[in-house]
Structure 1
Amino acid sequence: MLQLRPNCECCDKDLFPESADARICSFECTFCASCAEGVLAGKCPNCGGELVARPRRPAAKLAKFPASTERVLKPHGCKEAA
């Protein structure tokens, strides 16, 4: 099950579980659309994988299967990661 991490690893923007702005790679590294499509050019800086739109969990399932609250952040942001 996807963790649905709560923030962009580069800019720390909040990414709510229902957000259409979240992008992930196959390892669930999480970025906002702006960082993913901008400085990262669609490529995960951690694994080199493709960044794609993160699926959204139906609201009715979030109570039983909540999103992660663990924030992951690159200390130097996207510019150092790209």
Structure 2
Amino acid sequence: MFQRLRDREAVTDVQLQELSGTRGNITTAALLAAGIPPERKQIAAPEKVEAKELDVPLKLDLGTTSKSAIPAPKLSSI
């Protein structure tokens, strides 16, 4: 069934880039709503990666900052 769906529903690179941008924006909005300082977030441009079989390719970078940077907020749950 999965293969039939893949064969019938072609998804372009442009659509995938739009989806990744939307995911990034939604994730950022959730983090901001949870209390992270706006200066600690950054959304990079979508980057194409290759998938292996049924894997969902996703590249996520949670870069680090120096200890003198603004401390992370205490979150009870996300």
Give the TM-score of the pair, scaled to structure 1: 0.29
Give the TM-score of the pair, scaled to structure 2: 0.30
* Higher strand fraction (1 or 2): 1
- The structure with the larger Rg is 2
